[in-house]
Structure 1
Amino acid sequence: MADFEGRWSDFESRGVKLLAASVDSLEDADKTANDLSLSFPLAYGLEAEEFSEATGAFWEEGQKIIHATKFILNPKGEVASAVYSNEPANRYKADDCIRLIDFLKRAKQGKAWEVPL
């Protein structure tokens, strides 16, 4: 989340809203949001098993956690891209999301492969 907070203004300038969600309690979510000085909302109390069933996210029964899952939604609220990861190496970083959002916007204009220098 800190990575996304660090690039929050880049998302905002593109008209993109960020939302984080967690299985954590209100107290733990508040601590995380305060520790990271988040500028975007952090939802809490997510029902992990239900979320996993609805989205395909990795649910770990023993630890009662959902592994990192990131979605990019289009303006209609449909999933444009998703990454599911059970390890630190294969996750969307803020830069990845910004590049993908820019690509999707260019694609909508028929200019997907025009890469700005």
Structure 2
Amino acid sequence: MAHSAITAGSPFPSILVKGLDGTDVDLRNISDDADWKMVVVYRGKHCPLCTKYLNLLETYKERITANGVEIVAVSADSKAQLETHLADLEISFPIYYGLSIEQMQALGLYISNPRSEKETDHVFAEPGLFVINEKGQVQVLNISNGPLARPEIDVLAGGLEFIKAPENDYPIRGTYS
């Protein structure tokens, strides 16, 4: 399978997923409380490293949101899987479910089959992280083919503070073609 990643500086696509209350949510929409948005794609309930990463992200939430960056998380899990997973999560940011294969492909995510029925019952996205700026463009992105390679949250939080500081006039990186 050919892999085509979303590019830095491109518009973040419309990705409709489900909230726990059953409402459709478009991941590209930024709330009125922020001017940027961080979308964290995680593998699902079956992944203990994802649970650990999301819980660690919560410890940085105040610092990140104080910088005007909204945080959300999403996976391909079902509503029932997400509801079960909530018992292991200590997060206060929104978390969504129902990411489809087509949406995973639109984001350029790596997609895996479960190793067995004990792992999960569906294909799932490997980790991805997208930071969307006030213009709806992908400012920062990280796509991994496994749960072991993810951005360090403390470095990411500090980097976003630097990027967003007007005096730094920091452009979107990685756009050379």
TM interval, shorter chain, is 0.7 to 0.9
CA distance in 2, matches of 1:6, 1:31: 22
Q: Deviations over 1:31-64 (max 9, x none)?
A: 32342121101110111x212221111012x221
| Corresponding residue number in structure 2 for 1:109 | 167
Paired residue type of 1:109: E
SS in 1 for 2:146: coil
| Corresponding residue number in structure 2 for 1:68 | 127
TM-fit CA distance, 1:17:
0.6
The structure whose residues are more often helix, as a share, is: 1
TM-fit CA distance, 1:111:
5.7
| Corresponding residue number in structure 1 for 2:24 | none
Question: Structure 1 residues 57 and 100, CA, compared in 2 at 3 Å: closer, same or farther?
Answer: same
CA distance in 1, matches of 2:61, 2:134: 18
Please say if 1:11 is aligned against 2:61: no
Q: Deviations over 1:81-116 (max 9, x none)?
A: 11111233421232132122112113x43365xxxx
SS in 2 for 1:88: coil
Moved over 3 A (4+): none
CA distance in 2, matches of 1:40, 1:14: 15
CA distance in 2, matches of 1:111, 1:16: 17
Q: Number of paired residues?
A: 109
Q: Quick one: percent identity of the two aligned structures? A: 28
Q: Is the 8 A contact 1:58 1:67 kept in 2?
A: yes
Paired residue type of 1:28: Q
| Corresponding residue number in structure 2 for 1:90 | 149
TM-fit CA distance, 1:3:
1.2
1:47-58 to 2 correspondences below 5 Å: 47=100, 49-58=101-110
Question: Structure 1 residues 72 and 36, CA, compared in 2 at 3 Å: closer, same or farther?
Answer: same
Paired residue type of 2:130: F
Q: What is the aligned-residue RMSD (CA, Å)?
A: 1.8
Question: TM-score w.r.t. structure 1 length?
Answer: 0.81
| Corresponding residue number in structure 1 for 2:97 | 44
| Corresponding residue number in structure 2 for 1:100 | 159
